[in-house]
Amino acid sequence: MSEPGLILSPGPPGSWDEAVISCPVVLREKQGYRLWYYGREPDFPGGGIEGGGDGIPMGRTGVAVSADGLHFERVRGPGQRGSVLDPSTHPGRFDEWQVGGTDVVRHAGAYWLYYMGAWRGEGPLGGQLRKGFPLRIGLARSADGLHFERVEGDAGAGAILVNGMPEEWDAWFVGWPRVLPLPTGGWRMYYHGAGPGHPRACGIAESADGVHWEKRGVVFGPSNDPAAFDGLVISTRHVIPWQGGYLMAYEAQPLGQPPVYRIGIAISPDGLRWERLPGPGTLGCSLDVGPPGAWDSLAVGTPYLVPEEGGALRLYYVGFGPRPTPRGVGGSIGLAVCTGRDLTRWEKVLLTTETRSTPARGT
């Protein structure tokens, strides 16, 4: 039976994404839609703590395709168990333990995959030493979206962007990059981080070539309203050009409430100064968790916006529920749509055909 929002579940036995999937990245192409996402198998070598690292369900990155953006079929890549990007085999690199693709940009005839990576060492996070931290950001390129070659960054250990100094707002990690080529030239990266005495917030970096980046600081932090759904932290977000300005969908957690991730909407004239749009969901969110027992009843996050013809918007996201699967923690990917002028109102799609666990096809 279909459930509202759910379009793709963890993969079949033996696949790279058998345990959990997360963080959809969707591009519209001539043949349809292509979806990149990260996840892992139950016995992933870098699993460590449940979900990997600080509960992050990354490990490898893979691809699925769809004619309509609703029914996706996995494409078997050249990596381990059919992935397209695996942890590096070079000891000491920033991504030697886990990788997670978080954005793809078409540029100069290639797919540019921006991803975060974890190393095998330990670093501080919230007053503790945690394996894999600090997370850092890297880049890989591909002619076909399946066979990726890493770009050797010069920010440290092969990364293109690294965490800040011990006292800075992003000292503990930089992660979940979303990259936007600007119409005036150059590139802008939205990412989030955290540091001692600083809440998780969204910052930006700028680049002339998409490879070498300079940080510009925080542009979007937790709400000043302690009762809001985003009063504690701002995490993964996606920004697109929209009606002469910019539109952001972002995940956040409330202050003094159960730590439930929900998704909100903000708009900006320049991509730097943001105005929140209070939504109809719990504590003012725009996309809420599902009802008790639903596949996405515990958390929704990692939003990715895709404009459609006629002005409609799609919002791909990850959801987590209370029902563990035999193969792991079971995060899945969902879709909601906005067809009206009110950007805070989204409806979760309901698939009519059970196609969420189709086997992978070859390249």
Which amino acid does the sequence have at 314? R
> Residue 226: left (phi > 0), alpha (psi -120 to 50), or beta?
alpha
* Residue 45, pLDDT score: 82
**pLDDT band at 184; cut points 50, 70, 90:** confident
Strands 32-40 and 60-66: antiparallel
Q: Of the candidates 8, 4, 5, 3, which has an alpha carbon nearest to the alpha carbon of residue 355?
A: 8
The percentage of residues in the chain with a pLDDT greater than 70, rounded to a whole number, is: 92
Q: What is the CA radius of gyration of the chain?
A: 19
Q: CATH fold of 6-348, please?
A: Tachylectin-2; Chain A (2.115.10)
Tokens found for residue 258? 């159960």
Phi, psi (rounded to 5 degrees) for 137: -115, 140
Residues 6+ apart with CB under 8 A from 31: 65, 67
pLDDT at 356 > cutoff 80? no
* Residue 327, pLDDT score: 44
The angle at the Cα of 328, spanning 326 to 329, to the nearest 5 degrees, equals 120
* Residue 2, pLDDT score: 80
Over the stretch 130-162, which tens digit does the pLDDT of each residue have? 999 999 999 999 999 999 999 999 999 999 999
* Residue 323, pLDDT score: 65
How does the average pLDDT of the chain come out, rounded? Answer: 92
Over the stretch 60-91, which tens digit does the pLDDT of each residue have? 999 999 999 999 999 999 999 999 999 999 99
DSSP assignment letter at 311: G
Q: Of the candidates 269, 304, 289, which has an alpha carbon nearest to the alpha carbon of residue 229?
A: 289
Place of tokens 């730097």: 272
